[in-house]
Amino acid sequence: MLAAQWKSDHDRLDGLDTILRISKEEMKQHIQWETPIIEYQGPKKPLMPMSATSQFDMSEEFVLATNVSLARAQNLDFNFFMDVLFKAKTPEYNGYNTRL
């Protein structure tokens, strides 16, 4: 990694270097380092902690709105298929819904 620091930034730091300076000769030397490798020994699919789950009862309004929405979608899909099968020049699905 190469890090750079503007000279104007250096002046504002009251002589404190935040980036260590090295010479060109030091840059030519190879840095010896090792990345530690740790193999995971746990289960492939760990259990989710109960604190991360959100268990709650859905409100009655939400359940009713979902049922109404589902019934309307099923009705519209059925009407679309009926029109495709029995009416000429029925637009594609997006156009059919736009028309409604």
pLDDT higher than 70, residue 10: no
C-alpha–C-alpha distance, residues 54 and 30, integer Å: 52
Extents of the domains making up the chain = 58-100
Percentage with pLDDT > 90 across the chain = 19
Contact of 3 with 19, CB cutoff 8 Å: yes
pLDDT higher than 80, residue 1: no
pLDDT higher than 70, residue 17: no
C-alpha–C-alpha distance, residues 43 and 64, integer Å: 41
C-alpha–C-alpha distance, residues 40 and 29, integer Å: 34
Contact of 27 with 3, CB cutoff 8 Å: no
Q: What is the pLDDT of residues 36-73, one digit of tens each?
A: 888 888 888 888 777 766 777 788 999 999 999 999 99
